[in-house]
A and B are shown apart, each in its own frame.
Chain A
Amino acid sequence: MPLWAKTGKTMGAVTVTNLTKTYEKGSVTALDDVSFRVEAGELFGLIGPDGAGKSTLFRILTTLLTADRGTAGVDGFDVVKDYRKIRNTVGYMPGRFSLYQDLTVEENLNFFATLFGTTIRENYHLVKDIYEQIEPFKDRRAGKLSGGMKQKLALCCALIHKPTVLFLDEPTTGVDVVSRREFWTMLNRLKEQGITILVSTPYMDEAVLCERIALIQTGRILSIDTPDAIVRGYPDRLFAARTDDLPRALADLRANPSVRSTYAFGEYLHLAFRQNDTENVSGLSRYLAEKGHSGIEIKPVTPTIEDRFIDLMTRETTPS
């Protein structure tokens, strides 16, 4: 049984019901009738590009904005009525680096601890793993830290009051691969401490690191499930193809009537056929050879979250 199917527990849970939010007098829709539920202790990912509505959703859940329609609750409290209670218990790390650049690492952490009526010592066990990595620089001004270090400090500050729910808005954007991996390792350790974590990211490859994810695009949820289930939802068989001249192969494949969709994917082109047919692959190999390609390779592959996202996105815009 997947985690989300368990019901009845409200502590740490997040509920979102028919949430709609528009900006500029309704001309820009940031969230369009969004509903979902996050269970206590879950590591939940909100996956989508910039402008999908991730930050708006986080800001509504952290009581910073009010929705036009719909309701939302955190820890069983209503985000509008009980905003003060929610502010006491949640941790929030906004998308932009939001610490005081002219205060030192230690001063920042101390400040946020006191703000939440606690001390560094009281909850040190929570941030210990992370803080130890930046402790050598504790007398350095936050503004002089590297990108990865800033993220770690911001996470410490968001954690220091032992929140029940942690909202992380694009913590890994613009951060290099190494720091991103470290960051996800930290999140998994925090999850083990029982903290509910909602994290948003534009990087599709990070989706598999979450327990459940919502794919979100232009204010609407395309799909919501475990990463595995979302990948299984990919409707066709997916193939990877390559030749020695990928850009030309892409153009040739697009021109081929048996190919439903094709796009670049790393060192390969991913493609799906219009009809499932055992002759597909050999036919396409011949076609590419006729077009003068060399080094032709076509093989079935397991779809990724990104393949599913592209699939859902293209369905949204061009209804079949």
Chain B
Amino acid sequence: MKQLLVFIRKEFYHVFRDRRTLLILFGLPTAQILLFGYALSSEVRNINLGVVDFAKDPASQQIVSRVQSSRYFNLKEAIPTYDAMQRAFRENRIRAALIIPAGFNGDLRHTNRAQVQVIADASDPNAATTITNYLTGIIGDYQRELNATAALPYRIGTETRMLYNPDLNGSLNFIPGVLALILMIVCTTLTSVSVVREKELGTMEVLLVSPFRPILVLIAKATPYLVLSLLDFTLILLLAVFVLDVPVRGSLLLLFAESALFIVCCLSLGLMISNVTASQQVAMLASMMGMMLPTLLFTGFLFPLENMPLPLQWISRVVPARWYYLIVKAIMLKGLGFAAVWKETAVLVGMALALLGVSLRNFKIRLA
């Protein structure tokens, strides 16, 4: 037991004495969160907007002129029909449309209620949200102005529709995505590199010719990274909550438990890579190409999975990060409990057991 503890302490020395490792451990998550959080939700301007004005009455014209005078929008020629609008969307001439139904003014004056529709191209979800917010804001201003002089309050309802990506995947979803990515990097890449470094330095030879069980080498290697990745996880959560104002709606405990499960998955992957590679470079490349790219591509946080060809969707099912991503999204953003994620959890448990089994079974007690 003492041997194991000393070994683990040694691993921490390695980590804290290597600036590059520290940078990956703590610099990378911070940079990614801030990058995704700020750079990607920046202000949107000069949006090409199509207006489908079926009403063509004083009230509709007032709204259109307000939109026109906003610095956010470029008003395109008036669009006569729904079909024309659809075409405009497809041909990328407009990114959003404002539809005012016939009899808008009449509805407003007589029933005090009227309806407009806002449609946005949500393939860029961040932009789509921003656009609809702007439009709703303009309409809200107009409504307040009317109400200032009215006896009875007017109400203009805004119905929003998101084209292409109705769930708005991506708005806050980058946080679960970054979580998956960072844990993957820390656990898989750093673990495999640290095992392979011992092979490259020749220290693995000395370790093998000692009473210390080879399997304990793996455990001792994995432990620090388990601890460090939980630290990283906490760091990302704190940044998300306190810097980006993203709420954690579900159970924090459940979130930690699921993350620990995913970490075990990643650690096993890292150990598996270290079993079959002999140089740090190859290990790095293997975990980057074999693990990071699939994580980026197939979790659905950068590219919506629904839009992918079927074979790619199947591939996405074997990527652990995809399941973890779903779990975190459900717990953190939707506030759901274990009942909603037990299937995904079961998949992850299965993957973790399989990977751990394979990597332990293939671990060599001798040199290659």
Tell whether any CB of A sits under 8 Å from a CB of B in the complex.
yes
* Nearest-Cβ distance from residue B25 to partner chain A, whole angstroms: 16
Q: A residues within 8 A CB of B206? A: 92-94, 98-99, 112, 157-158
Q: Which of the 9-residue segments B197-205, B252-260, B344-352 touches chain A?
A: B197-205
CB-contacts of B1-38 with A (<8 A): 2-3, 6-7, 10, 13-14, 17-18
List the A residue with the shortest CB-CB distance to B203: A98
With an 8 A cutoff between CB atoms, is B361 at the interface? Answer: no
* Nearest-Cβ distance from residue A253 to partner chain B, whole angstroms: 44
Q: Which of the 9-residue segments A29-37, A113-121, A176-184 touches chain B?
A: A113-121
Q: CA A116 – CA B206 in complex, angstroms?
A: 11
Q: B residues within 8 A CB of A157? A: 206
Whether the Cβ atoms of B209 and A103 lie closer than 8 Å is no
With an 8 A cutoff between CB atoms, is A193 at the interface? Answer: no
Q: A residues within 8 A CB of B18? A: 102
Q: A residues within 8 A CB of B367? A: 59, 64-65
Besides A95-B202, A96-B201, 8 other CB < 8 A contacts? A87-B209, A92-B209, A98-B205, A100-B201, A102-B14, A102-B18, A114-B6, A115-B212
Q: A residues within 8 A CB of B203? A: 98-100
Interface centre among B206, B207, B210, B366 (most CB of A within 10 A): B206
Q: CA A95 – CA B206 in complex, angstroms?
A: 11
Contact of A92 among B3, B13, B17, B205 (CB under 8 A): B205
Contact of B17 among A63, A98, A102, A117 (CB under 8 A): A102
Q: A residues within 8 A CB of B14? A: 100, 102
Whether the Cβ atoms of B365 and A111 lie closer than 8 Å is no
With an 8 A cutoff between CB atoms, is A101 at the interface? Answer: yes
Contact of A64 among B10, B208, B211 (CB under 8 A): B208
CB-contacts of A45-71 with B (<8 A): 59, 62-66
Whether the Cβ atoms of A114 and B13 lie closer than 8 Å is no
Count: A-B pairs, CB below 8 Å: 80
Of the A-B pairs whose beta carbons lie under 8 Å apart in the complex, a sample of 30, sorted by A's number, is: A59-B205, A62-B205, A63-B209, A64-B366, A64-B367, A83-B365, A83-B366, A84-B211, A87-B208, A87-B209, A87-B210, A90-B209, A92-B206, A92-B209, A94-B205, A94-B206, A98-B201, A98-B202, A98-B205, A100-B14, A102-B13, A103-B10, A107-B10, A112-B210, A115-B7, A116-B210, A116-B211, A117-B2, A117-B211, A158-B206
Q: CA A62 – CA B208 in complex, angstroms?
A: 9
With an 8 A cutoff between CB atoms, is A88 at the interface? Answer: yes
* Nearest-Cβ distance from residue B51 to partner chain A, whole angstroms: 65
Whether the Cβ atoms of B209 and A62 lie closer than 8 Å is yes
List the A residue with the shortest CB-CB distance to B13: A103
The bracket for how many chain A residues form the interface is 20 to 34
Q: B residues within 8 A CB of A62? A: 205, 209
List the B residue with the shortest CB-CB distance to A141: B17
B interface residue numbers (CB < 8 A to A): 2-3, 6-7, 10, 13-14, 17-18, 201-203, 205-212, 365-367
Q: CA A84 – CA B214 in complex, angstroms?
A: 11
Q: CA A102 – CA B15 in complex, angstroms?
A: 10
Q: B residues within 8 A CB of A87? A: 208-211
List the A residue with the shortest CB-CB distance to B211: A88
Q: CA A102 – CA B10 in complex, angstroms?
A: 10
With an 8 A cutoff between CB atoms, is A234 at the interface? Answer: no
Whether the Cβ atoms of A63 and B13 lie closer than 8 Å is no
With an 8 A cutoff between CB atoms, is A239 at the interface? Answer: no
* Nearest-Cβ distance from residue B194 to partner chain A, whole angstroms: 12
Q: A residues within 8 A CB of B212? A: 115-116
With an 8 A cutoff between CB atoms, is A137 at the interface? Answer: no
List the A residue with the shortest CB-CB distance to B213: A84
Q: CA A110 – CA B202 in complex, angstroms?
A: 18
* Nearest-Cβ distance from residue A293 to partner chain B, whole angstroms: 50
Contact of A97 among B2, B10, B202, B210 (CB under 8 A): B202
Q: CA A72 – CA B365 in complex, angstroms?
A: 18
Q: CA A112 – CA B211 in complex, angstroms?
A: 11
Whether the Cβ atoms of A111 and B6 lie closer than 8 Å is yes
Q: A residues within 8 A CB of B210? A: 87, 112, 115-116
What 0/1 readout, one digit per residue, does chain A (140-173) give for beta carbons within 8 Å of chain B?
Answer: 0000000000000000011000000000000000
Q: CA A100 – CA B203 in complex, angstroms?
A: 7
Known A87-B210, A101-B201: A65·B366 in contact at CB below 8 Å: yes
Q: A residues within 8 A CB of B208? A: 63-64, 87
Q: CA A62 – CA B2 in complex, angstroms?
A: 24
Interface centre among B14, B17, B203, B365 (most CB of A within 10 A): B203
* Nearest-Cβ distance from residue B17 to partner chain A, whole angstroms: 5
What 0/1 readout, one digit per residue, does chain A (111-138) give for beta carbons within 8 Å of chain B?
Answer: 1101111000000000000000000000
Whether the Cβ atoms of B10 and A100 lie closer than 8 Å is yes
**For the complex of A and B, 10 pairs with smallest distance between CB atoms:** A98-B202, A114-B6, A92-B209, A96-B202, A88-B211, A102-B17, A62-B209, A64-B367, A94-B205, A98-B203
* Nearest-Cβ distance from residue A94 to partner chain B, whole angstroms: 5
Q: CA A92 – CA B202 in complex, angstroms?
A: 12
Whether the Cβ atoms of B202 and A115 lie closer than 8 Å is no
Q: B residues within 8 A CB of A88? A: 211
Q: CA A62 – CA B3 in complex, angstroms?
A: 21
